[in-house]
Amino acid sequence: MTTLLEPLRRIAAYAVCLDSAQRVLLVRASDRSGTPGAWSLPGGAVDHGEDPQHTVVRETAAETGLSVSVSGLADVLADLRALPDRGITLHTDRLLYTVSVRGGSLLHRVGQPTDLARWVTLDEACLLPLRAFTARALGLPAGTGDLLPDETPDFPSFYAVPGPDGLHRAQRFAAYAVATDPARRILLTRVADGYPGAGCWHLPGGGTDYGEQPGTALIRELAEETGQHGRLVELLGVASHRDAASLGPEGYPIDWHGVRAFYRVEVEAPAPPQVHDVGGSTSEARWFALDELRELSRDRLTEVTVEAVRVARLG
């Protein structure tokens, strides 16, 4: 039975690394891990305030002895697994980055959570007990099945806990839409009073639910916040931002770390925007022509909106 397990959530980043022979870099989980003997991409948990790209470089070096540089974002996905021996159910939001090797030599890590690193061909990888997210990232048949909880726990998209300095801290994963219609207008939402960034224009979207995939969450949030029904087109990027003393409806400062995936979304049949989630963090939704968007000063846009518009080449 897994219904009594404590729900936890984390954000993690991993390296998809191929050599000149098209072999992929994998690491093996040791007996100290929750999945002993399983193979996966090198990577691990994103520390509070850390840019996920830095996580990939740091974790790959620690687990394999290789120095890598990040070249792009490959995928973002989520999974849920039960770990009865640890008394927890774990939701992990996984960011997968393509990387290339700068130098170093493969090493073994006796007594660590991963104890072996290897270059393997895809044919060889098919014969290994792969973690499910690793198999998906490599386009291989489903890997070793994780134990799933009997039911998905009810758990907030973020929760604040006391940090080592006494200030509450929170880490949150969210998904946002660069949503456009056939007239090339972009859909933006205004942040409600009482929330960080109040009055600024923001991308529709928000925190994903426990056990929910980013794309599914995004389409749900789009409908709740604006009344629009969209089609997911592509993943554009991931933004990481830390506000060391954010003040929101909680009423006390929080050391806030947000990791936000943003996607291109097409709304083929736009309608007058309508905020259905009344009383939440969105007070208004509006379609902007690109000329109107360019006339908005940067201080009237949230940070993730500025970055996403730049990446989508709409600004």
Neighbours of 268 (CB within 10 A): 10
d(CA 303, CA 36): 40
Q: Which residues pair with 79 in a beta bridge?
A: 92
Residues 6+ apart with CB under 8 A from 295: none
Q: Is the pLDDT of residue 227 over 70?
A: yes
Residue range 252-257: average pLDDT?
94
What are phi and psi for residue 222, nearest 5 degrees? -60, -45
* Per-residue confidence (pLDDT) for residue 3, from 0 to 100: 58
- Report how far apart the first and last C-alpha atoms of the chain are (Å, whole number): 52
d(CA 90, CA 6): 8
Residues 118-128 pLDDT 10s: 999 999 999 99
Q: Kindly give the residue spans of alpha helices, DSSP state H, lying in the chain.
A: 52-64, 122-126, 132-137, 214-226, 290-295, 303-311
- With a pLDDT cut of 90, the percent of the chain lying above it is 78
Q: Which CATH class is domain 6-137?
A: alpha beta
Kindly state the tokens that stand for 283: 């007070």
* Per-residue confidence (pLDDT) for residue 57, from 0 to 100: 98
Q: Is the pLDDT of residue 110 over 80?
A: no
* Per-residue confidence (pLDDT) for residue 75, from 0 to 100: 97
Category of 244 on φ-ψ map: left (φ > 0), alpha (ψ -120 to 50) or beta:
alpha
d(CA 240, CA 247): 18
Task: Round the CA-based radius of gyration of the chain to a whole number and report it.
Answer: 21
Residue range 291-307: average pLDDT?
95
pLDDT-derived band at 144, boundaries 50, 70, 90: low
Q: How far is CA 244 from CA 48, 153, 166, 266, 305, in A?
A: 11, 29, 12, 34, 20
Q: Is the pLDDT of residue 143 over 80?
A: no
d(CA 113, CA 24): 20
Q: Is the pLDDT of residue 52 over 90?
A: yes
Residue range 29-35: average pLDDT?
84
CATH match of 163-311 with 3.90.79.10? yes
* Per-residue confidence (pLDDT) for residue 171, from 0 to 100: 95
Residues 74-96 pLDDT 10s: 999 999 988 888 888 999 999 99
pLDDT-derived band at 158, boundaries 50, 70, 90: confident
* Per-residue confidence (pLDDT) for residue 2, from 0 to 100: 52
Asked if 188 contacts 203 with a C-beta cutoff of 8 angstroms, the reply is yes
Q: Is the pLDDT of residue 218 over 80?
A: yes
Amino acid symbol at 138: L
Residues 128-141 pLDDT 10s: 999 999 999 999 98
Q: Domain residue spans in the chain?
A: 6-137, 163-311
